[in-house]
Amino acid sequence: MGFPIFNSKELSNGKVYSLSNPGGRYEYFHAKLGSKIDEVKSFLENNTFVGFMLAKKMAGKGTYAKMLEEILGRERFAHISVGDIVREVHEILVDSSRSAEKKNMRHYLEKYYRGLMTIEEAFEAIENRSQGKISIPTELILPLLKREIEKIGRKALFIDGLPRNLDQVSYSLYFRDLINYRDDPDFFVLVDTPLEVIENRMKHRLVCPVCNTSKSLTYNPTKFVNYDAGQNKFYLLCDNVNCSGYNNARYVEKEGDASGVASIKERLDLDEKLMKMAITIYGIPKVLVRSAVPVEIAHDYLEDYEFQQEYSYKYEDGEIKVSKKPWEFKDDSGVVSNTMLAATYVLNMFSQIHKILIG
Ligand SMILES: [Zn+2]
């Protein structure tokens, strides 16, 4: 989509940071963003913002939001996923032991829901959503979101999943009014990720069966890579402190991932259309984040430790040998490119958000 390339090297102080752990990221963000962090934090003492995240499925939205929370703090910032809300509502509806919660939700909706379906029909739409036939009406999504935001309390927000369809774009433009954030800034956050990156992330994604963390042998290994001689295969063990005691915390493939993007093609096409539409809308500021940097110029923009690496493994003389090199892929126009670690995406996002809020 032709977004500008972010120059992280401009913010260099010559030091190397470890971007895979919160401590390393803390130093990195503070070194590269300096006083911008405090400026945004003090802005948020009396104000909020609403950022609508628009990116393709598998583009890493959840990860970026989590790292923004690391910078801004949980008391000032929250990430809301419409998908998570709908899943939670579904759980409440099908679990008979949660009837009190269902009742509360119904009371709330009686007050705020206005739509063509009855509340009962709307609940049915949520229960049957996996069949894919009935879609959940926007008139229901909006009060559910409003309710979630009231539960969280007044904070700056990143919303993932609204707009989800083309007709929801115009709703998002008036969303601040609906949640009584009228005078606070809002903006779109658009992350442009090439199809090849999404395809490979999906193909190589592994999940811890205990804590559900996603990792990858190829792009994002844990601290513990092991070798299974019987199968001549390498595998990951979870390095989450709560999982390390479990023998079964061996990462597994997520069902359906191996077939790659074919299974989510329709969603990806719609995500692309949504982003293209969002770019053309006047009046609302946009944070534009580009994933791909042509290999030929990547080292002019990114520091060595910011590159997304591609890992490979060999088993020799009873030892696992790990090698890595910057991951190379073709962007959507066929240019051989590199990309950066999630923390560098967030650095880019934060710089642009600072500009919108502070100027
Ligand atoms: Zn785990």
Say what the pLDDT of residue 241 is. Answer: 82
Ligand 1 centroid–CA 240 distance in Å is 5
Ligand 1 centroid–CA 249 distance in Å is 6
Ligand 1 centroid–CA 188 distance in Å is 33
Look at residues 356, 334, 354, 337 and name the one whose alpha carbon lies nearest to residue 291.
Answer: 337
Say what the pLDDT of residue 182 is. Answer: 84
Ligand 1 centroid–CA 349 distance in Å is 28
Ligand 1 centroid–CA 226 distance in Å is 15
* Average pLDDT per 10 consecutive residues for the chain, totaling 359 residues: 93 92 96 97 96 94 95 96 93 95 95 93 85 75 95 95 90 89 93 96 92 92 92 91 74 81 88 94 96 98 97 95 97 97 98 97
As given in the structure block, the two tokens for residue 86 are 């709908």
Ligand 1 centroid–CA 227 distance in Å is 18
- Strand pairing of 50-55 and 156-160? parallel
Q: What are phi and psi of 226, to 5 degrees?
A: -120, 165
Quickly tell me which residue has 């090439």 as its tokens.
Answer: 194
Ligand 1 centroid–CA 207 distance in Å is 8
Instruction: Give the distance from CA 288 to its chain's centroid.
Output: 15
Ligand 1 centroid–CA 239 distance in Å is 7
Cβ neighbours, 10 Å, residue 37: 16
Could you state, in order of their start, the residue ranges of all structural domains in the chain?
9-76+155-357, 82-153
Is domain 9-76+155-357 annotated with CATH 3.40.50?
Answer: yes
Q: Widest CA span of the chain, in angstroms? A: 69
Ligand 1 centroid–CA 228 distance in Å is 19
Look at residues 54, 101, 16, 83 and name the one whose alpha carbon lies nearest to residue 268.
Answer: 54
Spatial neighbors of 93 by CB under 8 A, at least 6 apart, are: 102, 123, 126, 127
Ligand 1 centroid–CA 217 distance in Å is 15
Ligand 1 centroid–CA 289 distance in Å is 30
Ligand 1 centroid–CA 157 distance in Å is 28
Say what the pLDDT of residue 245 is. Answer: 61
Spatial neighbors of 118 by CB under 8 A, at least 6 apart, are: none
Instruction: Indicate the pTM of the whole model.
Output: 0.93
Ligand 1 centroid–CA 342 distance in Å is 20
Ligand 1 centroid–CA 43 distance in Å is 37
- Strand pairing of 233-237 and 309-316? unpaired
As given in the structure block, the two tokens for residue 271 are 């995500």
Ligand 1 centroid–CA 237 distance in Å is 8
In contact, 341 and 19? CB cutoff 8 Å: yes
Ligand 1 centroid–CA 242 distance in Å is 7
Amino acid at 335: V
Say what the pLDDT of residue 42 is. Answer: 97
Ligand 1 centroid–CA 255 distance in Å is 17
